């Protein structure tokens, strides 16, 4: 079975076939799915989905590009919702300087990233970190707040192999998805070989980032097979070994998720 550690099935792109698609996952080898919140509305939909499907769990948190949704009230909601047995992580949270160029808004991103990291510490849940074009500030902030005490995953990892090793040293997992199948993903392929298999999680970030041979189409967890195959080929191990290891890794990190 494959553990899908990062999906957005609340997305509108799944409105037409969400129910049929999610109902077909177990039969297609996808045993567990974490649906991850992005804005506040998506977090509320995530809670619903996690209660609707046995194999879907949820993460709640506000994405750096959606921090307009954050205030003391939403923070309080996140804190309460973290007690829900189906909610297993805080995320996705972090920094995104690719979409945000304004230095004052970047300050605000850092403020809310820190607040949500502290919230995860308080409620004893792992974090799902989104970091794009913000490598230096992400690592700096994580060091300042002693992120090594807060378990988590750096999702859709897009930095250097050296940086992957820094995160691994802090105990973090590295989320690897469809990008690894792209021809030009040289750095990511290298990172996937250099870090220990015990620190890798499989993820899609669907509906985005479909792997080859489905690049450009709507993504779903069913495509994780291609990601597992690529990691196996790069590391010279079997696909089965990749599936088993990443399954165990995800259960270790998301400890509220029930085993099969």
Binding site for Ni ion (CB under 5 A): 205
Output 4 or 205, the one with its CB closest to Ni ion: 205
Q: What's the CA gap between 137 and 167, in Å, rounded? A: 13
Closest approach of Cβ 146 to Ni ion, in Å? 25
Q: What is the 3-state secondary structure (H, E, C) of 115-151?
A: HHHHHHHHHCCCEEEEEECCHHHHHHHHHHCCHHHCC
Q: What's the CA gap between 211 and 183, in Å, rounded? A: 11
Output 44 or 237, the one with its CB closest to Ni ion: 44
Closest approach of Cβ 174 to Ni ion, in Å? 15
Output 66 or 205, the one with its CB closest to Ni ion: 205
What separation in angstroms does the CA of 150 have from each of 71, 112, 126? 23, 16, 6
**Tokens at 139, concatenated:** 């690592």
**257 secondary structure, DSSP code:** S
Closest approach of Cβ 233 to Ni ion, in Å? 25
Check whether the bond before 135 is cis (ω within 30° of 0).
Answer: no
Output 207 or 233, the one with its CB closest to Ni ion: 207
Of all residues in the shown chain, the one whose CB is closest to Ni ion is 205
Within its chain, how far is the Cα of 142 from the centroid?
Answer: 17
Q: What's the CA gap between 204 and 155, in Å, rounded? A: 10
Closest approach of Cβ 206 to Ni ion, in Å? 9
Output 128 or 150, the one with its CB closest to Ni ion: 128
**Tokens at 200, concatenated:** 């890798």
Within its chain, how far is the Cα of 124 from the centroid?
Answer: 17
Closest approach of Cβ 110 to Ni ion, in Å? 19
Closest approach of Cβ 236 to Ni ion, in Å? 30
Output 10 or 205, the one with its CB closest to Ni ion: 205
């Amino acid at each position: 079975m494959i553990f899908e550690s990062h999906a957005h099935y609340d997305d509108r792109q799944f409105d037409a076939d969400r129910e049929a698609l999610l109902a077909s996952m177990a039969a297609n080898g996808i045993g567990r799915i974490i649906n991850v919140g992005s804005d506040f509305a998506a977090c509320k939909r995530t809670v619903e989905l996690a209660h609707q499907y046995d194999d879907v769990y949820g993460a709640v948190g506000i994405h750096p590009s959606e921090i307009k949704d954050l205030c003391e009230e939403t923070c309080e909601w996140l804190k309460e919702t973290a007690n829900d047995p189906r909610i297993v992580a805080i995320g996705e949270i972090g920094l995104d300087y690719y979409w945000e160029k304004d230095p004052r808004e970047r300050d605000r991103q850092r403020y809310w990233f820190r607040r949500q990291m502290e919230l995860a510490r308080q409620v004893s849940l792992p974090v799902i970190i989104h970091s794009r074009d913000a490598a230096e500030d992400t690592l700096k902030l994580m060091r300042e707040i002693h992120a090594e005490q807060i378990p988590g995953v750096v999702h859709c990892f897009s930095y250097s192999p050296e940086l992957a090793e820094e995160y691994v040293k802090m105990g973090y997992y590295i989320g690897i998805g469809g990008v690894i199948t792209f021809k030009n993903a040289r750095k990511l392929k290298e990172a996937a070989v250099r870090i220990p298999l015990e620190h890798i999680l499989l993820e899609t970030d669907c509906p985005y980032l479909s792997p080859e041979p489905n690049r450009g189409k709507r993504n779903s967890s069913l495509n994780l097979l291609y990601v597992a195959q690529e990691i196996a080929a790069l590391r010279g191990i079997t696909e089965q070994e990749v599936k088993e290891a990443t399954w165990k890794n995800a259960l270790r990190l998301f400890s509220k998720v029930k085993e099969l």
